Amino acid sequence: MDEKIQVVIVTGMSGAGKTSAMAVFENMEFQCIDNYPVMLLEQFGELLKTSNRYSKVAMAVSLNDAINAIRIFSNLDWINLAIVFLDAEDSVLLTRYKFTRRVHPLLIWNRASTLTEAIEFERKIAEPVKKMANIVIDTSHLNTPKLQETLERYFAIGQKAPFRISFVSFGYKHGIPRDADLLFDVRFLPNPYYVEALRSLTGNDKAVYDYVINKPETQEFISRLTDLLDYLFENFEKEGKMHLVVGIGCTGGQHRSVTLANYFADYYSSRYQVHRLHRDADH
């Protein structure tokens, strides 16, 4: 076999968007399989080796079966395995279930008595699976086109997905990004909010950017953090992680975090595929 077969396991919290994600993979010309019996996965893996029919497969797998499925496909050297874990905030999952009037699987199986209890219990089940994932996507604020755009960045047709880094600025007052792999708190830096001429601007504006970047504390922070990120990025890529989300937070997500996210996104864009998101800059 000249090229490895791309297999993507799609799993995550119930209500986080597995059905929508599978529709995206179908549009990207993946062979899509939903809830294939886990006891037959080894035979299916062997079939992939001997058949020329499949080159890209996306499989929706329940959390109960995810660890076994990952172990099986991880041991097949003719498969290039990616694990996508879809997550969402508890409040968003509650809203989605109430809006669609669907019943949570754990309620159907009598493993929980309320929707809130079901989500809490499932999150405990999900934790070890989430740690095994190459890609974690928080769909709390993603509509279907944005989810499609996100998945297409990872699984471009006919290409092996490169190691990608997302720098996300945020405000601690609005909560920590659920899908962040690394978090850095820059609230110790001088705050442009207290400069009246800069208060209504953001780190996307040159005046704020220059104010933050040129502070001695910022320069020392950049020097120290760059050394750490160089080391982390190199080793995460070697370990096989496909996507790393670096969260940089300040109080409101307007000034310092935006400035530093922009700085590091620009700095690493010549070496990696970089995406930047200013989650709270418009709040």
pLDDT value of position 131: 92
Pairing of strands 164-171, 243-250: parallel
Note whether 193 and 66 are same-domain residues: no
Helix 115-132 to helix 90-100 angle (10° resolution) is 120
Domain stop point among 133, 154, 175: 154
| 159 in a structural domain | no
Residue 16 is labelled as binding a ligand:
yes
Domain stop point among 130, 154, 178: 154
Q: What's the rounded Cα separation, in Å, for the pair 63 and 269?
A: 35
Residue 19 is labelled as binding a ligand:
yes
Q: Model-level pTM?
A: 0.62
Q: Which domain holds residue 246?
A: 164-278
Question: 29 with 157: CB under 8 angstroms?
Answer: yes
Residue 139 is labelled as binding a ligand:
no
Domain stop point among 154, 177, 209: 154
Note whether 201 and 142 are same-domain residues: no
At 110, which CATH number?
3.40.50.300
pLDDT value of position 2: 59
Note whether 117 and 211 are same-domain residues: no
Residue 17 is labelled as binding a ligand:
yes
Q: What's the rounded Cα separation, in Å, for the pair 260 and 270?
A: 17
Residue 12 is labelled as binding a ligand:
yes
Residue 131 is labelled as binding a ligand:
no
| 283 in a structural domain | no
Q: How many CB atoms lie within 10 A of CB 50?
A: 9
Residue 242 is labelled as binding a ligand:
no
pLDDT value of position 161: 57
**Residue 21: which of 162, 160, 145, 179 has the closest Cα?**
145
Sheet containing strand 273-278, edge to edge, reads: 182-185, 243-250, 164-171, 273-278
Taking only the tens of pLDDT, the chain with its 283 residues reads 557 889 999 999 999 999 999 999 988 889 999 988 888 888 988 888 887 788 899 999 999 899 999 999 999 888 899 999 999 999 999 998 888 778 888 888 887 788 899 899 999 999 999 999 989 999 998 888 888 888 988 886 555 557 889 999 999 999 999 889 999 999 999 999 999 999 999 999 999 999 999 999 999 999 999 999 999 999 998 877 778 999 999 999 999 999 999 999 999 999 998 999 999 986 5
